[in-house]
Amino acid sequence: MPKRWVGIVVSGEKVTLVDVEVPKVGQLVLQSDQSWRLQTGNRPEAYDVMYRRVKDYVREQKIALTVIKASGVGQHRVGKAHLDSAELRGAVMCAAASEAPVQLWSKAVASRSLSRKGKRKVDEYVQDESHFATNIDGQLKAGSREAALMLLAVRDG
């Protein structure tokens, strides 16, 4: 029976989640492609709501592995939005880890893993619709490609 993996990217106040079946060979089979916004209001309470949402999803869907895009160091000054994203990412990591193994993958590590088949970086793969048509069975939203790419990097790595 194929395992279920989830790829997660946290950006700003949004969590993008891609859920796939991972067969022994062939394309990843898309099960779900969702984006969840952090609720407004009291941030600790909003983090708690997101924590429970992620934890419940991983448990109920019997996810075997969660792959989360790690924080990256940009060329710009780190501001409040970057720190807020990091806080949300921490809540998401804890929630997923309470139910299944979690791996953190940076864009650089994913690029190296994927570059075994080609010489492109993550951002170049994200723009390539044919790459996802070849590797993912199902309609993936354009905004979810980075989360799916993390799953492909783990599978191919």
For tokens 């979690």, the residue is 102
Q: For 18-34, what is the mean pLDDT?
A: 95
Band of the pLDDT at 155, cuts 50, 70, 90? confident
* pTM exceeding the 0.75 threshold for the entire prediction: yes
Question: What is the token pair recorded at 45?
Answer: 């309470």
Give the per-residue pLDDT at 130. 83
Strands 3-11 and 65-69: parallel
Which CATH fold topology does 3-156 show? Nucleotidyltransferase; domain 5 (3.30.420)
Confidence (pLDDT) at 119: 67
Torsion of CA 9, 89, 69, 106, to 10 degrees: 150
Enumerate the β-bridge partners of residue 4.
21
User: 1-5, 54-58, 64-68, 76-80: which has the minimum mean pLDDT?
Assistant: 76-80
pLDDT tens digits, 83-126: 888 999 999 999 999 999 999 987 766 666 665 555 667 677 77
Query: In a 3-state reduction of DSSP, which class is residue 98?
Result: coil
